[in-house]
Structure formats: C-alpha cells, structure tokens
Amino acid sequence: MRCPVAPRATPGRSLLTFLQNQRRSLASTRQTLERFSRSTDDTAWRKHGGVVVALGSHWPDMPESDTPAATANPERAAVVAACGRIRQLFLCLVIAALAPLAIASNRQNAPSVEAPSAGEIAEKQGNLRSLRSQIDALRKQMAAAEGSRKEAVDQLQEAERAISATQRQLYETETGTDRLRERLSELEKQSNDLGRVLGAQQEQLARLLHRQYLRGNPDPLRMFLNGDDPNQLARDLHYLETIGRARREILRGIEATIQRQQALAREARQQAELLAASEARQREEHARLVEQRQQRQLALARVSEQIAAQRREIGSLQRDEKRLAELVDRLSRIIAAQAGEARREAQRREQARHPEPMERAPTSPTEPATGEARPPPVPERRGDEAAATPGAGSLARLKGQLRLPTRGAVSNRFGATRLEGSTWKGLFILAGNGSEVRSIAAGRVVFAEWMRGFGNLLIVDHGSGYLSIYANNDSLLKNVGDEARLGEVIATVGNSGGNPESGLYFELRHQGRPLDPMAWVSTRH
C-alpha cells in the first residue's frame, strides 16, 4: 500500500489553506494505517516495512521507545526511530518547498496596491498641511474682503442718502422754480396791465393838455381886471382847478405805475438770477454725487467678485483637502493591514516549526466602504400668500380700484419663488430712473430712510393696519410725518440698495401680513 500524497497547492491558495489540506491528508493516512495495522500481524509489519508504519503511525506524539513495535522487537525499534526522523525531515522539506509558492500565490491574489513608503506618507501629510495653511490664509483674506465690502456698502449707503437729499432739494427747487415762473408770469401780466393803464393815463393827459392848449392859458387876475362876468369868471376858475387836479392825479398814477413796473422787473430779475445759481449748484452737486455712487457701485462689484472668486477657490481647495485626506486614510489602513498580515505570517511560520492542532482560519475582514456625505436637506417651501382681510379702513374699500404706484412692466410677482428658495412678498415694477412714484391712497409717511437690501425705502400708513411699501427709490420726496394724498408724487424710481435694475419694489401689508398687490389693482386703468 502506498501512502496517499497530498494534492499539490494551486497558485490561488494561501498558505493557511495549504496547511489545512496537509492536515486533512495526514489524518486520512493515519486512518488508513490504523485499519491496516488491525488486520495484520507482526509478520505483516515486517513484510510491509517500518517505514509505512512510521509514516502512518497514529501515535505521533509518543516516544518511539514506548510504541508496541519497539517493545516487541528491538530491531524494529531502530527502524521506527529512523523512520520518525525521516518523517519529520520530510514534512519540514515539504513545508519549506511549498511555503514560498503559497505566499507568492497569496500575493498574486491580493489587491494590487503597492505599499507606500514612509517618505511618501510624509510627503502626502506635508501637502495636506500646506493645503490647510492655504485655506486658512484664504479665509483671512475673505474676512478682510468682507470688511472691505461692508465699508463699500456703508459708503454706498452714505452716497445714496446724500443723493436722495440732493434729489429732494432739487425737487423742492424745481417746485419753487415753477412757483417763481408763475409769479413772473403774473408780474408780466400785471406789468402789461399797468402798461395799458399808463397808456390810457398818458392819452387822457394828452387830451387834457390839448384842450387846455386850445383854450389858452388865461390869467385869473387879468380876467378879473378886464371886468368879465363874475359868474363866467367863477366857472372858468372852477374849470381850471378841475383840470389841474386831474392832471396831477394822472401824473401821480403814471409815476406809481412806472415805479411798480420797475419794482416788478427788479424782483423778477433777482429771482431769476437766484434760481439760475441754485439750479446750477444743485446740478453740479448732483452730478458729483452720481459719479461717486457709480464709483462706489463699481468698487462694490469688484469686491463682490473677489469674494465670490475666493469662495470658489476655497470650495475647490476644501474638495482637494477632502480627497487628499481620504487618500491618506486609505493608505494608513493599507499599511495597518499589511503590518497585521506580517504578524500573522510570523505566527504561521512559528506554528509550522511547532505543529499544533489548527483551528479554522477566520475569513479576512472586508474593507469598510467609504460613505458619501449626505447632501443637506432641501428646505421646505413656505408660502406667505396671506389673503386680504376686509377691514374698516379706507384702503379696504378701495380694493380692486387702486392703481400701481408707477408705470412699467411687472416682474417677480407676489408668491413667485426667489433664487434662494423663499417667495416674493410683493411686486417689482421695471421703470426708468427718475420716474414718478405716486401714493396708492391717502395716508401718512411713517418711514423714509435707507435700509440694507431695500435702498431708499418709504412706507405709508393708510390706517386700519394697512401699509404700502415703496423700495429701491432714487430719492424720497417725503419725510416722516408728512401727509401723502392719493396720487401724490412721493418718490422717484431708482436702483438704490445695490439693485442691478432700475425699478420700484412695492408691497402691501395688513397687520404685518403680505397681500397680493395685483388683487387690489384695477385692470381697467
């Protein structure tokens, strides 16, 4: 009988699998030899030779001198001892010959990842530290840029406030100019009337002088000495006195008329000069402020673009940092796994030198999957479409009869979704810069000031909790506490507050809740 030979290790088996197969093969050989030994006698032992018994002996841990064969025959004991040494030598040679093949086969089936050196890992960690330093520096630059942007916004706020004040002064000046022009027109009319009166007076005086010339210039004393009729003399004297009094009145009237004309002309000339100087000064100041505002807006745009670019760069660097950190983490796991494999290999070699009953090898742990970052939850949309509540105020009775505060195309309607996910609480009316903004109803101005995001903002209280809001104005023509009549001009259209387009943002609110302005506007207008 031949001793069964263990199957040759295939390239795909690991060393542990190979040793397990050898263990099973040896156990099978022992069982075969036990059955064979029970069915034969001492002659059969000698016939088949001690080598087979030694190779298949089921007392591997007992000393050769204690075996039954050794006690039965000293000659066989020597053979058994020699065979035992041969068996140990054979097993060592088999393990030594097949171990490199099993290790090579295990390496072939292992993941093809080259072990990084300590220098490579140090370089990766250095790159990671450099990236983090760049991100920290960029964050500091971004904070400084945010401060510059706030300063630019403050400067823009001051410029827009000054422009609003200048616009209000110009509006008041233009209103005064209109009044002066009306006054000048009235003065011109009065002057024309005085001219006609003066002409009539002059004609009357000319007729009087002509009549007096025709009658001559009688001397009352001579008429008396000539012995004329006393009654005729009295009549002639009365006539001369009447003519003289009329002439004096006409002359005084002419003089007064001329003086009034001269005074009116002087007043008109002075007012016109003052008006021209004031308008020139206001136009110059307004042009300077407009130029400053344009410069501020350009500076703000540059700072905003710089901040956006830095944010994009920070985002890119953070993604790079994340990828590099994941790579370093994977490399660290690979190094730890290889170190553990080296320790297990050393233990297997130690067990091969001192064979012990082997336990079933644990399965290799699988590498945990890298989890992807969960995206942030999408914020729930919330509609603020509050319906108008009927009230007792005058504005409630005007529902459906109002007019929009300015003429223009309506965009960004009430309830539409904004870019950041919220909804519009009012309307944006595209209109040219300087267009008139009129009050939708009678009320009182309760707010007239610059506000971040809304620019020059004006709010009118219409009573019963109703408010109308006008934002992004170029200039505010009313102050807090002023009355606003229905249809009265209260502001001019602009793009204050950093708005890129010229237009008016308009809201209606009742008890703080936004109302749809289009539900209150008449479509017949």
Q: For residue range 351-366, what is the model confidence (pLDDT) as tens digits?
A: 888 775 544 444 443 4
Average pLDDT over residues 383-410: 69
Q: For residue range 29-67, list pLDDT tens digits in order.
A: 666 656 655 554 444 444 444 433 333 444 444 444 444
pLDDT of residue 151: 73
Q: How far apart are CA 189 and CA 488, in angstroms?
A: 30
C-alpha closest to that of 195 among 283, 240, 260: 260
How many helices (H) and strands (E) in the chain? 9, 10
Domains of the chain: 15-109 (no CATH), 123-351 (1.10.287), 394-519 (2.70.70.10)
pLDDT of residue 475: 93
Is the predicted pLDDT of residue 237 greater than 60, yes or no?
A: yes
At 407, list the tokens.
């003429």
| Amino acid symbol at 476 | L
- Beta-strand ranges (E) seen in 376-453 are 409-411, 427-430, 436-438, 443-451
> What is the average pLDDT score of the chain?
70
pLDDT of residue 169: 76
Q: Report which of residues 509 and 42 the model is more confident about.
A: 509
Q: How confident is the model at residue 477 (pLDDT cuts 50, 70, 90)?
A: very high
Q: How far apart are CA 278 and CA 294, in angstroms?
A: 24
Is the predicted pLDDT of residue 467 greater than 70, yes or no?
A: yes
Buried b / exposed e across 137-166, counting CB within 10 Å, b at 16+?
ebeeebeebeebbeebbebbbebbbbbbeb
Q: Report which of residues 46 and 499 the model is more confident about.
A: 499
At 517, list the tokens.
């302005």
Inter-axis angle of helices 230-353 and 74-109, nearest 10: 160
| Amino acid symbol at 69 | A
- Considering Cα of 55, then 61, then 63, then 66, what sign does the dihedral take? negative
Q: For residue range 213-228, list pLDDT tens digits in order.
A: 776 666 666 666 565 6
Average pLDDT over residues 297-318: 71
Q: How far apart are CA 404 and CA 429, in angstroms?
A: 9
pLDDT of residue 93: 56
